Structure 1
Amino acid sequence: MADPLAGIPLASIRVFEAAARLKSFTRAAEELGMTQAAVSWQIKALEGRLGQSLFRRLPREVQPTEAGERLSSASTEAITLLRRAITDLTEADEHILSVTTLATLATQWLAPRLGAFQLANPGLAVRLDTNPALLDLNREGFDVGMRSGHGDWPGLESQMVMPSVFTPLCSPAMAERLKLKTPADLIEAPRIGLEKEWAVWFAALGLSSEGRKQSTRLTADYQVLEVAAALGDQGVALASPILFAREIAAGLLVRPFEEMVSFHTGYYLVWPEGRRRSPKIKRFRDWLMAQADADPAVVAARAGNEERTAEKAKALRP
């Protein structure tokens, strides 16, 4: 039986996959560094060789036909597998670990510890990127990511590193000035952060801030910026006692109340499906989990989460 792939250039499949995924010859051309005419020619040549149309040409986009959909799914999977295999086999790539993560997590927890990882792995350089978006790790050239959520992202495997918990933090001077005695005192205190997140914290304690005169006075894109405002005596921030454990230990920040809430399950290490056995990913994953296990703030937050989960389960029992 003749090989159905005989005579079909891999370049044509690559062009087809990009056009089908992006639903645009123009965007496919931009991604692949080609002209739109070259993309169109490759598609026509592939359609001619297969003897059937793969796209419906619409005014502003292209839509795969039924045959195109079948080929699109298979070609995307095949190219992804090829990309992973080539990445794992490339010697130069094995000497660089590319990590994308959140800015506050990077500056407050990960970056101060990376020196220890590099000392233990002198042949592996780390490239650290901060980006709030969950990037396509394969296409953006990253080996692993650290993200907040519930651990269920399509195309990624994940492992929880630490729980995501938030508690009020402020400077000692602010705590003294406000004379905070109970969590209810924070309702009319100058607060930093999103009002809806504060509402979750108050609700966890059976309180409501709705309709009260004081609301949050400052919000920022990054948690570290909101805590910087708290360090500057501008109010009380709702932030992670794990990520700001050094400032708490140094007495720069205080926790007026111990109560914590979670807005999502935790912070996860993620990597593309099928790359669990990559030596550099395994080394980083093992090191990262050991760092989390040795962090007293992480251990305390895990214990608090387990206690809250047990209390909820007990309350739900008939």
Structure 2
Amino acid sequence: MKLSKQFPLNALRVFEAVARHGSFTKAGEELGMTQTAVSYQVKLLEENVGEPLFLRRPRQISLTETAERLAPQVTEAFEMLQLAVAEARGETEVTLQITCLATFASQWLARRVGLFQLDHPNVAVRINTSDTLVDLGREAFDIGIRSGTGEWPGLRAEKLMDVYFTPMLSPALAETIGGVHEPADLLKLRIFDTTDPWWHQWLEAAGVPTSNLKTRATSFYGAQAYEASAAVAGQGVAILTPDFYPDELASGKLIRPFELQCTDGRGYWLAYPENRRNVPKIKAFRNWIMTEMHGSKLPAQ
């Protein structure tokens, strides 16, 4: 594939928007163009390239192999142009939009993201902690930090950490029953959240029947971080990921009465669109967080 010397720059901009949104209509809405105008610009680029860039089906389009190779390079080029123009105006700041689960955001990312910004002062970080599973290929986010098994079509996913869990509570709450000496003692206290599969898995691993959980009132706080705060306040026992609470454990605000911890095979993953892997701000954040997580400089992707 070789573009002519006078390739249509506007057509490339339209192509980048269509490839990112997977839609002629949404690309037109972003660029303030009619769908007809978008189609015309794509056609110009296809004539320039000499082959189709999109496979058109009823209510759906997909990128051809050529377009899959071209899209990330075009996206990176426009990102670099945007940065160059911003620098010329004295506006060196670019924005990195991150969608992240609340617990990871509060217990890990928020405590360290300032280090990333010290290394990259031109990048402004915006973190959204909605639990909604964002379509990173079509919505205004650059990166997602997700919990799961790392299998999301169209996204590159790199594991940040495995997730383990174990019951944790305040020492003052434990003393109300003379201390927690065996796993069954936990059932003498208030539990958050009794419907959480983690509780059933951990109690079964500890040899404690879980039938008692079905008859208990359920408290649901919506995120592990909130349950941890309630546990620190002595309101009940939470099942938590110890890696997120080293300070609380070291200070004695929380205790983990048993070494037994379990995993359901899920982990936290860094995810971003495959066709945007070479965008400078995404590469910079990926390299930083992987180094922070794994303790050594990782090779470039």
Q: Same fold (TM over 0.5)?
A: yes
Gaps of 5+ in 2: 1-9, 41-54, 87-91, 297-301
1:114 matched to which residue of 2? Answer: 113
2:233 matched to which residue of 1? Answer: 232
Alpha carbons 2:96, 2:125 under 8 Å: kept: yes
Superposition pairs for residues 245-264 of structure 1, below 5 Å? 245-264=246-265
Q: How far apart are residue 90 of structure 1 and its match?
A: 2.6
2:210 matched to which residue of 1? Answer: 209
1:73 aligns with 2:84: no
1:242 matched to which residue of 2? Answer: 243
Superposition pairs for residues 38-187 of structure 1, below 5 Å? 68-69=57-58, 72-74=61-63, 86-87=78-79, 89-91=81-83, 92=86, 95-178=94-177, 179-187=179-187
Q: TM-score, normalised by structure 2?
A: 0.71
- Summarize the Cα distance change of 1:21–1:127 in structure 2 as closer, same or farther, 3 Å threshold: closer
Alpha carbons 1:167, 1:239 under 8 Å: kept: yes
SS in 2 for 1:114: helix
In 1, the alpha carbon distance for the partners of 2:277 and 2:189 equals 47
In 1, the alpha carbon distance for the partners of 2:215 and 2:235 equals 14
- Deviation by residue 1:68-120 (Cα, 9 ceiling, x = unmatched): 34972248x67965556534543159833222111111111111111111112
Q: How far apart are residue 214 of structure 1 and its match?
A: 6.2
Alpha carbons 1:227, 1:239 under 8 Å: kept: yes
* Bigger mean CA deviation after superposition, 115-124 or 146-155: 115-124
In 2, the alpha carbon distance for the partners of 1:28 and 1:116 equals 36
1:60 matched to which residue of 2? Answer: none
| Bigger relative contact order, structure 1 or 2 (CA pairs below 8 A, ≥6 apart) | 2
Alpha carbons 2:168, 2:239 under 8 Å: kept: yes
In 2, the alpha carbon distance for the partners of 1:83 and 1:292 equals 28
Gaps of 5+ in 1: 1-8, 46-65, 296-318
Alpha carbons 2:162, 2:268 under 8 Å: kept: yes
In 2, the alpha carbon distance for the partners of 1:213 and 1:139 equals 41
1:284 matched to which residue of 2? Answer: 285
Q: How far apart are residue 67 of structure 1 and its match?
A: 6.4
SS in 2 for 1:73: strand
Q: How far apart are residue 33 of structure 1 and its match?
A: 9.0
1:310 matched to which residue of 2? Answer: none
Alpha carbons 2:99, 2:145 under 8 Å: kept: yes
- Deviation by residue 1:108-134 (Cα, 9 ceiling, x = unmatched): 111111111111222222222212123
- Summarize the Cα distance change of 1:29–1:100 in structure 2 as closer, same or farther, 3 Å threshold: closer
In 2, the alpha carbon distance for the partners of 1:95 and 1:30 equals 23
In 1, the alpha carbon distance for the partners of 2:165 and 2:217 equals 16
- Summarize the Cα distance change of 1:213–1:44 in structure 2 as closer, same or farther, 3 Å threshold: closer
Q: How far apart are residue 136 of structure 1 and its match?
A: 1.9
Q: How far apart are residue 44 of structure 1 and its match?
A: 12
What percent identity do the matched residue pairs reach? 38
Q: What value does the CA root-mean-square deviation take over the aligned residues?
A: 3.9
Q: TM-score, normalised by structure 1?
A: 0.67
